[in-house]
Amino acid sequence: MPTSALSLVRITARLLLALAAVVTLVVVFLALIALTDGAASGLAAWATTLGAGTVLALWRSRRGRRGTWRARLVPFLPVIVAAALTATVCIPTVPTARQYPPALPSVSTQYWSLATGSRVAVYHYPPAKTGAPHPVPLVYLHGGPVRGIAMQDHRFLRQLARQGYDVYAYEQAGGGRSALLPMDQYTISRSVRDLAAFVDRLDKGKADVLGFSSGGVVLTRALADPGVAARLHRAIIAEPGPMDGPTAHITGHKGRASARGLAPAPTGPRSTHVPRYAVAFGLMRLGLLTPDTQLLGQAEGDNAFTAADLGSDTASAYCARDAHRIPAEDTARNFSFSPAASLRIQQTTKDSPSVAPLLRQSRTPAMLMIAECSSQVRQWATAVLANDPAVQRTQYMPGVGHHMWNGLDDNNARAAAVITAFLQDEPAPLPNHPTREEIPAFLRDHK
């Protein structure tokens, strides 16, 4: 073999060995991050990895002590490169104190301290002055679970107020403009207690409640708690997630095809393009870091997370036919999502025992809303229908995805018509489908 070819082979081999050393050190660092739960903002894992790499490099350098001083420094290059790469995981790039979204120009933000200790941001849409106002206040529980109320939802709430409803919404503890809680206080039970405390603080007697997505989970569990249910006048459960541990472990089909995988990728900055947050959120999602990880604080994680980080989750809330006309749900200034607190609440739901026995005792009039192109497992909704004898009607909403009031076509008007008909005890605009008896056929037909 020619000398030049041999030299190329040697250089390539050395580069591959150096690359393998860098990759090995990075993998060791990530493993230590998981094992130490990100102790000291990841510096414990970083220092240990750097120390181990340095010891190994010294050993290799001494083995090659007959070479030049430059040759003896070569084993340290992979350590230096790995140290630089992994250091980026330990350095915050956003403020570590919570930066709350600015006030909305369209509605004033009130701050209520609840009896539970939560301090929540509250939005009030008074009923229109024309016509007779609905006598019972309507409370909106948003999805998330720990996020801000999107501008799209605010527009829908204003629409309900124009129809005579006294509408209140609050961002659940830790979400949006509401104050953070210690991480171990984010539980599904705390969310239910906050709802009860909010209705008490409202001080207007019983309230109608519209719970969407994870807000529907809170509402379902409230109906299964006699003390909380006594505060509720009527309940609308829209596109709920799993109500308890047994339901969360159900595997089944979803609704008709959503826009997931069909819609253009979301634009805008992503925290997951920054090594620190890509590692933290990725390992949390995999269950390798706890929500209260020491790698980054709750406030920093909230500040870093952007709408683009939701990826295809937003598209999954729309029908496939709407893939190329998905509206902007929120503004960058208003968007807020807490990934760690949301994971914590979801985990407490998964760990909770069945609420079905208590739900079967519910007497609060309820309605279930199911979207045609739902991204939710169908059994999450049918479990509510099967176990709550007070569900008086089910409205299967054609032509919409998980986010049923999305501003497209007449979707907001159709959702409002379904909601207001139930609240006023008027005939439903859509057939009562599926009924309890129709659940097996509904699931079998993959509707």
Domain CATH for 167: 3.40.50.1820
Within a domain: 233: yes
Secondary structure in 3-state letters for the chain = CCHHHHHHHHHHHHHHHHHHHHHHHHHHHHHHHHHHCCHHHHHHHHHHHHHHHHHHHHHHHHHCCCCCHHHHHCCHHHHHHHHHHHHCCCCCCCCCCCCCCCCCCCCCCEEEECCCCCEEEEEEECCCCCCCCCCCCEEEECCCCCECCCHHHHHHHHHHHHCCCCEEEEECCCCCCCCCCCHHHCCHHHHHHHHHHHHHHHCCCCEEEEEECHHHHHHHHHHCCHHHHCCEEEEEEECCCCCCHHHHCCCCCCCCCECCCCCCCCCCCCHHHCHHHHHHHHHHHCCCCCCCCCCCCHHHHHHHCCHHHHHHHCHHHCEHHHCCCCCCCCCCCCCCECHHHHHHHHHHHHCCCCCHHHHCCCCCCEEEEEEEECCCCHHHHHHHHHHCCCEEEEEEEEEEECCCCCCCCCHHHHHHHHHHHHHCCCCCCCCECCCCCCHHHHHHCCC
Residue 240 to residue 223: CA distance in whole angstroms: 13
Give the span between the Cα atoms of 290 and 184, in whole angstroms: 11
- Residues 295, 277: Cα–Cα separation, whole Å: 9
- Report the sign of the C-alpha dihedral through residues 399, 401, 407, 412, in that order: positive
Same domain, 126 and 74: no
Are 26 and 61 part of one and the same domain?
yes
Domain's final residue, options 87, 122, 149: 87
Specify if 220 maps to a domain.
Answer: yes
Q: Report which residue type is found at 60.
A: R
Q: Residue 15: what pLDDT?
A: 78
* 275 in any annotated domain: no
Q: Which residue has the tokens 């909770």?
A: 352
Residues 160 and 125 placed together within one structural domain of the fold: yes
Same domain? 154 vs 27: no
Asked whether residue 99 is assigned to any structural domain, the reply reads: no
Question: Among residues 56, 87, 118, which one ends one of the domains?
Answer: 87
CB of 355 closer than 8 Å to CB of 221: yes
Residues near 188 by beta carbon (within 8 Å), at least 6 away in sequence: 217, 218, 221, 345, 348, 349, 352
Is residue 251 included in any domain, yes or no? yes
Inside any domain, residue 153: yes
Which neighbouring-strand residues pair with 168? 124, 139
Angle between helices 275-285 and 3-36 (to 10 degrees): 60
State both tokens at 186. 């984010």
Same domain assignment for residues 186 and 43: no
Residues of the chain with pLDDT under 50: none
Domain around 199: 110-266+316-444
Q: What is the dihedral of CA 408, 409, 413, 415, to 10 degrees?
A: -60
Based on the structure, what is the number of domains in the chain?
Answer: 2
User: Is residue 344 domain-shared with residue 381, that is, in the same domain?
Assistant: yes
CA distance 103 to 121: 10
Q: Give the bridge partners for 125, in sequence order.
A: 167
Domain boundary among 55, 87, 119: 87
What distance, in Å, lies between the first and last C-alpha atoms of the chain?
68
Same domain, 259 and 363: yes
Specify whether 198 is located in the same domain as 320: yes
- Domain-embedded: residue 302: no
Beta bridge partners of 277: none
One domain, residues 22 and 115: no
Asked if residue 284 belongs to a domain, the reply is no
Residues 6+ apart with CB under 8 A from 296: 38, 41, 92, 96, 276, 277, 280, 304
- In this structure, the answer to whether residues 82 and 116 fall within a common structural domain is no
Residue 240 and residue 321 in one domain: yes
Query: Residue 106 region, left (φ>0) first, then alpha (ψ -120 to 50), else beta?
Result: alpha
For residues 193 and 326, state if they share a domain.
yes
CB 245 within 8 A of CB 350: yes
